[in-house]
Structure 1
Amino acid sequence: MMTLQTELLAAISWAAQQGWTPATGGNFSARTEAGYLVTASGRDKTRIQADDLLLCNLDGKVLSGDGKPSAESDLHAALYRLDPTINCVLHTHTLASTVLSRRFPNGIELSGFEMQKALAGNVTHDASVLLPVVPNSQDMDELAEHVRLGWPMPWGFLVAGHGIYAVGDSIASCRRHLEAIEFLLSCVLEESRWSK
C-alpha cells in the first residue's frame, strides 16, 4: 500500500519528468495530521527522495527534516488554513502558465475543451471555466491575501509570471487538476499562435 509520503514523492517525480520543475523550481506538499509535508528549498525534483521532504505545522514551522522550506511553503500553509478540503498543493513552473498568466492577468477563460471535464465539478465542454490569475509578490502574506480575496478556486490558480498552484482533496485529484490545467493552457497558447 502506498503511503502519503511515497504518493507525494511519486507526484513530484512525475511533474519533474514533464519538465515542469526547471532549475529546482516548484514546491509540493500534502496535508498530514500534524500539518503538511513539503519539499525543502533548492532540491532537484528530478532526484527527489524522502529526506528532501520536511514536516511543517500549519503555521509553516518545521517540525522535522533537514533543510529549510522555500518561502512559498508559507503559501501552502495559508492554503491549508484557508480551506480544510485541500489535502494537496502542487506548484510548478511551466511555459504555458508563465506566459499566459502575464498575458491574461484577470484570468484565463476556457470554453469548448473536452479536458475541462477533468476539473472537479465540470461535466461538459460547453461550460465556460475561468482559471484565476493572482498578482505575484515575494511577500507570502500579500500573495496569500490575493488568493484569499479570490477564493474559492476549486482547482487552483496561476500566479502572474510565475506558474500553477493546483489544489485537490487528494494527491490524485491534485495531480489530475495540474495535468488538466497544463494541457488546457498549452491548448490556449497553441491557439494564440495560430490566430496571428
Structure 2
Amino acid sequence: MTVPIPEAAIATIIAAGRRLDDAGWVPATAGNISVSLPDGRIAITRSGRHKGALVAGDVMAVDGDGRPEVQGDRPSYETLLHCGIYRRFRDAGAVVHGHSIANTVLSRAAGGSLTLAGYELLKAFPGGPTHDVSVAVPVLDNDQDIPRLQRALDARWAGADTIPPGYLIRGHGAYLWGPDMDAALARMEALEFMLACELEERRLR
C-alpha cells in the first residue's frame, strides 16, 4: 500500500507551477517541480503536464533514485536531475526548472559558466550579503541521456570551491533549488531578472 503524498506538498507544487507559468517560464509542457518529503521520497510533477494547470493527480512520488512509487507512473523525464540535487545538497527541500527566453538564449552563447556581477539580486543567493559579489553560474551541455548529464554535474560539483544554488543547461533551461519552495522560487526569480538584464544589455551594445 502506498503512502499518500501530503496535501501540503501537492498544494506547494501546484502553486509553484502557476507562479512559474504566470512568469512565462514554463511554456507548453516545459519545466518540472519537486519537493522532498520527510520520509525520503520526492514529490514531483508527472511527465507532459502543463505547469500552469496542475491538479493534485499531476503530482506523483518517486524514491531517492527516481523510481516511481506506483508502477507505470511516468515522472518528469529529468527526475534524476532532481534526485541528484537532493543527494548532493542535503539542505535542499525544493527544486524548480524552467525555460525562459533569457536563460535559453544566454546559455547558448555562454562557455562553461555565465558570470553575474554587481546585481543587487545576487543577495538572493547564499553568501551574498551585498551586491558587490560575482557568481559564476555553471552551464552544462544539453544531453538527452539524463544519467550522463547527472554524471557531468557530479564531476563539476566535485571540483568546485563554491556552488551557487542553480545551473543552466545550454539551450534548455535553468535549475534552481532551496531549503523550501519559497526560497527556490525566489532564487529562480532573482536569476531570471539578472539574465533578462544581461540580455537587454547585449541588445544595447
- Please, what TM-score do these two structures have when normalized by structure 1? 0.93
Contact residue 51 and residue 65 of structure 1 kept, 8 A: no
1:69 to 40, 51, 75: 75
**Mapped pair 1:36 → 2:42:** yes
Structure 1 residues 169 and 37, CA gap change in structure 2 (3 angstroms): same
2:166 to 145, 148, 156: 156
User: Is there any run of 5+ residues in structure 1 with no aligned partner, and where?
Assistant: none
**Mapped pair 1:13 → 2:18:** yes
126-135 vs 50-59, which moves further: 126-135
Contact residue 93 and residue 181 of structure 2 kept, 8 A: yes
**2:3 match:** none
Q: CA deviation at 1:132?
A: 1.1
1:4 to 9, 12, 20: 9
Query: Structure 1 vs Structure 2: percent identity of aligned residues?
Result: 37
**Mapped pair 1:82 → 2:82:** no
User: Is there any run of 5+ residues in structure 2 with no aligned partner, and where?
Assistant: 1-6
How far, CA to CA, are the matches of 2:10 and 2:147 in structure 1?
27
Matches within 5 A, 1:161-176: 161-176=171-186
Contact residue 76 and residue 89 of structure 1 kept, 8 A: yes
Structure 1 residues 51 and 104, CA gap change in structure 2 (3 angstroms): same
Contact residue 41 and residue 67 of structure 1 kept, 8 A: no
**1:136 match:** 142
Contact residue 135 and residue 164 of structure 2 kept, 8 A: no
Q: CA deviation at 1:42?
A: 0.5
Contact residue 53 and residue 65 of structure 1 kept, 8 A: no
How far, CA to CA, are the matches of 1:120 and 1:25 in structure 2?
27
Contact residue 112 and residue 125 of structure 1 kept, 8 A: yes
Contact residue 119 and residue 194 of structure 2 kept, 8 A: yes
The RMSD of aligned alpha carbons is 1.6
The one-letter code of the counterpart of 2:100 is T
1:56 to 56, 62, 73: 62
**1:26 match:** 31
- Please, what TM-score do these two structures have when normalized by structure 2? 0.89
